[in-house]
A and B are shown apart, each in its own frame.
Chain A
């Protein structure tokens, strides 16, 4: 089913707007389709999350072929500790890649790989800007297959939740600092 040689070029990820056609999007997972079609724009307008879309320009407009959603998240403790360790914050700010999907017709061409890299680069830009403190980039893998995808980028698995993975601020700083030097 995949388009081996897409005739139309793809547009780089940009924030979702009403101009983007999500109506035909099908990644094979209903909740991810529904989120994009029904909730992504409203949540973005309410400043609860930001959805970035890769689109194909067609005569009918810009058709979404893949997306990811970033949202601010706070890491909290399940129970109030008797005493916070010295210098330990009461919450840790993080960016969560809450959703991530590629249309079935476009799977297997590396769009997921490129979208994920884009998400980490964007996260690093937020971390670096200092506009909001962000200490971790977090993903919740849907299954073992998704987890294996993230591990191929050296994400670390949370010790108590095998499907949650993260990059620390320092890891991204080291990774992207070298990229800038080389560039």
Chain B
């Protein structure tokens, strides 16, 4: 079956069975930032941005993503907000293990793009959505808060303040 999608901002047609997992199809496209973890949507290793929101690609049949926008970590690295997240993580002492990077980074992205200044509850409800294999929740929360600060610095902290 031919499934048209916008993958990393390029219009392409995926050749796959509609019931195949998006994870499998993306790895076949040699997008290896999408890792195979639990296969149950718990661990976050296979996270991608689907129409701007992080989703576990292991629980999504590829037939459901027709005409959707998919962004993987390979392409996300070109976004300025990626640098904010990485610098925030570094400040918090988070070392990326390589296997659950997508889960951590896209979770941070979701928080950063949803809330201007996330509170503790918002932060932890986003973090609790996945089971990170290498970083504890408090450290990850700190990393996201540092990333928020880095984003504000880059965008200009007072850009919305009326003169």
A pairs with B: no
List chain A positions with a Cβ less than 8 A from chain B: none
